[in-house]
């Protein structure tokens, strides 16, 4: 692997993500895994517990990356990996489903296809309590168009410029959702924050501390988002505390 690891490390520190083009080769993908995933039943769009035999070649390449990126700012293991598969299906349903009666600890809406919406991951933070040294690796192994099935994100430097308070609050963190106030969800936000919220405003919903409601953002995530266009076999490296969708 002839990569500029110094550049990758610096970019991860500055922006929180980096795209490595053509990271995988066709021979790295076990075709029986594709067949296996197509037949597998998905729960909320995700398959966990994939047999190790399917990603042996991928694992070797990830190990090289993790060793080379280990430095004073990023202490990651080249032996500990957890793989899952995400299946993204086109939905003809354009409207989200409103969930009533409102529960302030659950989203007031469910997106078509079970889309997670804006967040920083929950389970890994609950389990490790550390997102400073945790990398997310997103690799398309079955994809027909670079415009589809991509990850939207908010880079570190952009968030720090637009909303320094939120940047400081979520650095190295996890278990936070980000939602905007809409006409049909305004009463839910009023309940959650015990105040008269304004339609169009964005809020962070803190799911880690039961005593914390969250806070108002100074950035419109949809307006400011960055969406790296990934081709088949590209690798998106992302720090786990990067806001993404």
How many Å apart are CA 200 and CA 24, to the nearest integer?
41
Does the N-terminal peptide bond of residue 100 adopt cis geometry, omega within 30 degrees of 0?
no
Region 112-139: mean pLDDT is 85
The 10 Å Cβ neighbour count of residue 54 is 19
* CA neighbor of 174 nearest in space, from 215, 128, 211: 128
Give the model confidence (pLDDT) of 186-204 as tens digits: 999 999 999 999 999 999 9
Examine the pLDDT at 16 and tell me if it is beyond 80.
yes
* CA neighbor of 146 nearest in space, from 227, 224, 83, 53: 227
Examine the pLDDT at 210 and tell me if it is beyond 80.
no
Q: How many domains does the chain have?
A: 1
Give the model confidence (pLDDT) of 60-97 as tens digits: 899 999 889 988 888 887 777 778 888 776 666 667 78
Higher pLDDT residue, 147 or 236?
236
Which pair of structure tokens corresponds to residue 53? Answer: 């035999």
The one-character DSSP state at 226 is B
Look up the domain containing 100 and give its range. 5-244
Model confidence, pTM:
0.90
**Contact at 8 Å (CB) between 58 and 65?**
no
End-to-end CA distance of the chain: 29
**Contact at 8 Å (CB) between 18 and 225?**
no
pLDDT tier, 144 (very low <50, low <70, confident <90, very high otherwise): confident
Which pair of structure tokens corresponds to residue 146? Answer: 């670079």
* CA neighbor of 217 nearest in space, from 171, 162, 176, 174: 162
Give the model confidence (pLDDT) of 219-244 as tens digits: 999 999 999 999 999 999 999 999 99
pLDDT given at position 43: 60
pLDDT tier, 50 (very low <50, low <70, confident <90, very high otherwise): confident
The one-character DSSP state at 74 is B
pLDDT given at position 115: 60
What torsion do the CA atoms of 85, 91, 93, 94 make, to the nearest 10 degrees?
90
pLDDT given at position 86: 80
């Amino acid at each position: 692997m002839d990569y500029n690891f110094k550049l990758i490390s610096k970019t991860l520190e500055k922006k929180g993500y980096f795209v490595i083009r053509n990271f995988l080769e066709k021979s790295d993908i076990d075709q029986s895994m594709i067949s296996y995933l197509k037949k597998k039943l998905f729960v909320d769009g995700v398959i966990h517990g994939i047999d190790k035999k399917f990603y042996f070649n991928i694992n070797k390449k990830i190990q090289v990356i993790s060793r080379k990126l280990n430095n004073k700012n990023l202490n990651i293991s080249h032996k500990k990996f957890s793989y899952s598969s995400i299946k993204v299906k086109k939905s003809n349903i354009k409207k989200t489903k409103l969930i009533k009666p409102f529960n302030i600890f659950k989203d007031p809406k469910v997106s078509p296809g079970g889309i997670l919406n804006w967040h920083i991951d929950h389970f890994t933070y609950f389990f490790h309590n550390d997102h400073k040294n945790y990398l997310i690796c997103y690799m398309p192994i079955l994809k027909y168009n670079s415009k589809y099935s991509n990850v939207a994100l908010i880079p570190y430097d952009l968030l720090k410029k637009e909303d320094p308070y939120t940047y400081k609050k979520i650095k190295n963190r996890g278990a936070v959702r980000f939602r905007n106030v809409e006409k049909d969800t305004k009463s839910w936000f009023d309940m959650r924050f015990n105040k008269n919220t304004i339609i169009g405003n964005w809020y962070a919903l803190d799911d880690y501390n039961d005593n914390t409601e969250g806070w108002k953002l100074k950035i419109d995530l949809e307006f400011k988002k960055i969406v790296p266009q990934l081709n088949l076999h590209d690798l998106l490296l992302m720090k786990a505390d990067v806001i993404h969708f």
